[in-house]
Structure 1
Amino acid sequence: MTNIGIRPAVVDDIPAIVAMLADDALGASRESPDDLAPYLAAYERLQSDPNQFLVVAVRGDMVVGTLQLTVIPGLSRRGSTRSIIEGVRVHGSERGQGLGQQLIEWAVEESRRQDCQLVQLTSDAARPDAHRFYERLGFVGSHIGFKLQL
């Protein structure tokens, strides 16, 4: 992957990030690119939390990928700090060219820099291609996740 940079997201990136979040069947049913107000409020919350890393991958001036990394200090696992990768998205024009792997590798390296002992992520059960992708990168499907909609 040449000419790709990964940098912290800025407020002007929010429309492109939301568009990528909405760019599949699951995202289209839960995202609202026409109303950016909740995303801008969430961005402000993320910016005020030093354990949150919202990044974008850019090619030139175009945002072509994104992910969020959350660092969580904890007591379990002998006081281990862990990270969680969320919201991994690659622009449709960039899929299949290694950008997703580059983003995940960035997140793993940042997790190491943050002294994390474990990197976690979840993937919707309806995304078998994503599951194979994460397994190819060394992640193990070790848990069953649960959600409670509030």
Structure 2
Amino acid sequence: MSDLEIRPAKPEDIPAIVAMLADDPLGAQRESPDDLAPYRTAFDRLSGDPNQHLMVADRGGEVVGTLQLTVIPGLSRRGSTRSIIEGVRVHSAERGSGLGTRLIEWAVDESARQGCQLVQLTSDATRTDAHRFYERLGFEASHVGFKKPL
């Protein structure tokens, strides 16, 4: 993996990121790779916020993985700062290569570097393979999450 670079996403990475987000049964229902306008708007919002880190794994100029790390200062837990890992995706040709582990390790290390006391993530209840992956990396399924579409 010496030819792999984990770096901030650039606007030209958006098509590859969206393609990975859409490349599974859940993502296929939620994402629209044929209309990148809303993703470009979201990218602009993310890139203007210092607490948002949209990252890609780049191998030889090809985007092969992505995640978003959000740093959240807070009052709870004695004023702790926490981070949330979202949108973790690995290109289908790279699955099983250790790339997902490298991305999560980057996010945990960056969270510590930014003074976070807790790293959390969510995963759809149907993604049982992902749950085993996160548990293998030391995450615990400790809370029940709720969402409400707006």
**Normalised-by-shorter TM-score class:** over 0.9
**In structure 1, what is the equivalent of residue 19 of structure 2?**
19
State yes or no: 1:37 paired with 2:37: yes
**In structure 2, what is the equivalent of residue 28 of structure 1?**
28
**In structure 2, what is the equivalent of residue 65 of structure 1?**
65
| Matched residue type, 1:58 | D
State yes or no: 1:51 paired with 2:82: no
Name the SS for the 2:147 alignment partner.
Answer: coil
TM normalised by structure 1 equals 0.99
- Structure 2 stretches of 5 or more lacking a match? none
State yes or no: 1:2 paired with 2:2: yes
Name the SS for the 2:34 alignment partner.
Answer: coil
| Matched residue type, 1:95 | R
Deviation, 1:73, is 0.1
Deviation per residue, 1:40-83 (Å, 9 max, x gap): 00000001100000000011010000000000000000000000
User: Could you say what the CA RMSD is over the residues aligned between the two structures, in angstroms?
Assistant: 0.4
- Structure 1 stretches of 5 or more lacking a match? none
**In structure 1, what is the equivalent of residue 146 of structure 2?**
146
Q: Following TM superposition, where does structure 1 have runs of at least 4 consecutive aligned residues deviating by more than 4 angstroms?
A: none
- In 2: Cα distance, 1:46 partner to 1:30 partner: 19
Deviation, 1:105, is 0.2
- In 2: Cα distance, 1:2 partner to 1:31 partner: 32
- In 2: Cα distance, 1:34 partner to 1:17 partner: 13
- In 2: Cα distance, 1:6 partner to 1:53 partner: 11
Deviation, 1:3, is 1.2
Aligned-pair identity (%) = 77
State yes or no: 1:132 paired with 2:132: yes
Deviation per residue, 1:107-131 (Å, 9 max, x gap): 0000011100000000000100000
- In 1: Cα distance, 2:25 partner to 2:4 partner: 27
Name the SS for the 1:84 alignment partner.
Answer: strand
Deviation, 1:19, is 0.1
TM normalised by structure 2 equals 0.99
- In 1: Cα distance, 2:128 partner to 2:6 partner: 26
